[in-house]
Amino acid sequence: MIDFSPEFLNVLKSAKRVAVLTGAGISAESGVATFRGKEGLWAKFRPEELASADAFMLNSALVWEWYQYRRDIIDKVQPNPGHFALADMEKHFKSFALITQNVDGLHRRAGSQNILELHGNITRNKCFNCGKPFIDEINLDQKKPPCCNCGGKIRPDVVWFGETLPQSEFEMANEASATADLFFAAGTSAIVYPAAGLPMIAKRHGAYLVEINIEPTPLTDMADSFMQGKSGEILPEIVKWLRK
Ligand code: BJW
Ligand code: ZN
């Protein structure tokens, strides 16, 4: 049983508009590696070295290998209690937005409805050149990389460094943050912008800011409540209070 502060419980009980920003940490307990963790096969690469158009142009085979490796994992894993708690939490508020930086689709699989995927979705592909969605199966065992009719290479439909976020999702995320009376940031290192700016927007507009993370981040000093621990343990405890 977690000992939440009376101040937080009051806000939780009276909140009408809630927004949540999630990052890779929320899927860690499902077995999906975070980006900046020290564990794992791909830890020797910084995300900037793989998640960028420059990296793709330089070595598309390496970038595809990373995405294929991650797709294989995501196919096999299941949402964890943190994902399920957020899907449940949505039902308790008049307005609820789940803003995620994750591309793994686990929030949807857990049953969340109002999801804003700021960094795309790893299951989709598009053309590197013209941006057209590519719906055919891709076979990475072929010697040549898959190509679009325009001749452009096919790439995962995710947002890389230096690329803009999907406009309507980002506008809705901004709006949800600016109008929230309670904002949770869960499992994110809060260093990648513009997503990392959303908790600050929420706070500036008067939201009560809660951070859930196993360790402090640049956001911690600004949070009204820092809940240190695993999101898969803390979020279900919060939902228990909503059910009371
Ligand atoms: C747990 C846990 C458990 C573990 N429970 N917690 C200088 C200043 C400001 C901005 C910039 C700058 N230089 C460049 C920029 C812009 C750049 C940026 O922000 N860079 C920073 C690194 C400085 N941003 C961009 O380029 C963005 N676009 C943009 O700005 O467009 C405008 C523009 C256009 C043209 C030119 C210039 C600007 C786009 C950013 C796209 C990020 N893409 C990625 C890859 C997505 C696809 C894919 O998945 O492959 O998104 S990178 C990667 O980082 C991924 C993530 O969504 C994102 C954030 O990472 P996240 O989710 O926070 O994960 P981690 O691993 O960092 O953290 C996990 C956390 O969980 C940790 O804190 C753990 O402690 C915690 N944790 N287990 C709770 N069980
Ligand atoms: Zn094309």
CATH 3.40.50.720 at 33-76+123-158, yes or no: no
Does the pLDDT at position 216 exceed 90? yes
Q: How far is the CA of 24 from the centre of ligand 2 (A)?
A: 30
Does the pLDDT at position 43 exceed 90? no
Please tell me if the CB atom of residue 125 comes closer than 6 angstroms to any atom of ligand 1: no
DSSP letters for 68-117? HHHHHHHHH----HHHHHHHHHGGGSSEEEEEE---S-HHHHHT--SEEE
* Mean pLDDT, residues 204-226: 98
Alpha carbon nearest to ligand 1 atom 54, residue: 192
pLDDT at residue number 194: 98
Q: What percent of the chain has pLDDT over 90?
A: 89
* Mean pLDDT, residues 144-164: 92
Which residue, among 110, 55, 38, has the nearest Cα to 80 in the 3D structure? 110
Ligand nearest to the CA of 117: 1
Atom of ligand 1 nearest to the CA of 212: 79
Mean of the per-residue pLDDT values for the chain? 95
Q: What is the CATH class of 1-31+79-119+165-244?
A: alpha beta
Confidence of residue 118 (pLDDT cuts 50, 70, 90): very high
Atom of ligand 1 nearest to the CA of 217: 73
| Radius of gyration of the chain measured on its C-alpha atoms | 19
Please tell me if the CB atom of residue 158 comes closer than 6 angstroms to any atom of ligand 1: yes
Does the pLDDT at position 144 exceed 80? no
Q: Hey, what amino acid is at 114?
A: N
Please tell me if the CB atom of residue 101 comes closer than 6 angstroms to any atom of ligand 1: yes
Please tell me if the CB atom of residue 217 comes closer than 6 angstroms to any atom of ligand 1: yes
Alpha carbon nearest to ligand 1 atom 12, residue: 193
The domains spanning 1-31+79-119+165-244 and 33-76+123-158 adopt the same CATH topology:
no
pLDDT at residue number 99: 99
For the chain, the domains span 1-31+79-119+165-244, 33-76+123-158
176-185 confidence digits (pLDDT tens): 999 999 999 9
pLDDT at residue number 70: 95
Q: How far is the CA of 6 from the centre of ligand 1 (A)?
A: 33
Active site residues: 119
What span, in angstroms and rounded, lies between the C-alpha atoms of 27 and 136? 28
Residue 131 makes CB contacts below 8 A (sequence gap 6+) with none
Confidence of residue 142 (pLDDT cuts 50, 70, 90): low
In whole angstroms, how far apart are CA 121 and each of 3, 131, 149?
36, 14, 22
Please tell me if the CB atom of residue 189 comes closer than 6 angstroms to any atom of ligand 1: yes
* Mean pLDDT, residues 54-76: 95
Confidence of residue 140 (pLDDT cuts 50, 70, 90): confident
